[in-house]
Structure 1
Amino acid sequence: MKLTLKKGPLYLQVQEILKKRIISGVYPKHSLIPSELELKEEFDVSLITIRRAVEELSKQGYVEKKSGVGTTVLDNHAISKLSKGQRFSEYLIKEGYHLKKEFASLSTINLHEHAADLVEHFGDECYCVERLYTLEEKPYIHFKHYISKEVTLPENTDLLLDSLYEIFFQQGITFNRFKDEFGTEIPDPSIAEILEIEQQPLLQRIRYSFDINEKLIEYSVAYYNTAIHKYVVNFDV
């Protein structure tokens, strides 16, 4: 496979190709990817380029390189770069809790009326995906995802209950970084009603999701009813 510098640094091109193979299952979870020499021959680049690409995949949590063993696939989710720690939803399920995506809705909104700060990123309009998670059948997390109209979203809202990041990946969108901000805010009355609580300060998480060109693709606001369960970040060391 011949790569060209016209498409950017060679190691990033190799990294993205290998990442797509991992997420699509070409290299299954817990399997070994081809050796550095094999990848060098396939992509016709230097060993330094291959090693840097693999190093980036390791930083993102996709693979682990061990001397004398090779490079093993650790994770095959499009969101791997978000954290090397265990994701909150995975933690709850592992602890035996019943976490369910209850519903999803899709609409197009005028940002000048609803979120003027996002106009510079998304233009006049964007998609708004609203989702509710329940924990032990009780309303627990309310999400609003503001998404660029450059993304094609399924009209069947049941499909929006799946990972949005997998939907993005299937359209060739690769994320470079995420920024999370946490605070406490009083949600709108409509959100408090969905969560079946009185209006009161709740844990709020705002997430910015940027693609490899540093373009904002998704902006999301989540409210957690931590009276049901605290937000937990679990790291393995």
Structure 2
Amino acid sequence: MMNDTTFETLPGRRRSDVVYKTLLDRLYSGQYARFSRLPTERELTEEFDVSRPVIRNALAKLRDNGLIRSVQGSGSIVLYEHARGDDASAGQVSIGDFQKCFEFRVLVEQEAAFLAAKHCDRAALDVIRQNIDEVDRYVQRGEYRIGKSFDFHRAIAMASENPFIVQALDRVQDFIGFKIYIARSMSLPNPVERLALINGEHSAILSLIERREGEEARALMRSHIERARDLFLGCLPLEVVSDREGR
């Protein structure tokens, strides 16, 4: 049970962030194995000495970031896989791996934006707009949910009407480095302000797609992903990076 006075005096949302980061570190360390069950909400409330809404908020962030899944009657199941030993990923990802992931995203997603401007219909545009509106509501409440933000990118892929692009983004989401990117992004400076900026760029991309300005949408999508890459790599915690090229 956490009885630290500083922790006890934190507001509910800040407590939730502390619980989230603690559980996140346990996932990274392998304390919770993949497909195992997390402690129950009751057990976590007792351990951290907080209310159930605080625990549920922390679990929701893990769920939105694709690290756990809620199963009725079974609680929260761990999806994050902690690699061990001399596995190629070694549970960590090199800077080069992150760079290659972003390079691939630029290659695929700029074309997705171009094709979406060429092919998308009103229904596809509505799905994209709904995601932007949903993320805006998170921003207005001061909540950071970058996992929801990525749904925008998948909606663009769907709007391209090219199933191979959709499959490519699904592969990106399965990449362990992408899961680290999603989870660690919360630790970057000013997360809610950044989410607002990201969503503003999403809205600008959608406007270009709606106007059928494919080349412009392609260029803006490229710069959007490159900015995300530069910010993330520039703030990447050294403890999660194992630069294998130097070994």
TM range, smaller chain = 0.3 to 0.5
Larger radius of gyration: 1
- Which of the two has greater helix per residue? 2
- Which of the two has greater strand per residue? 1
Q: Quick one: higher RCO (CA 8 Å, sep 6+), 1 or 2?
A: 2
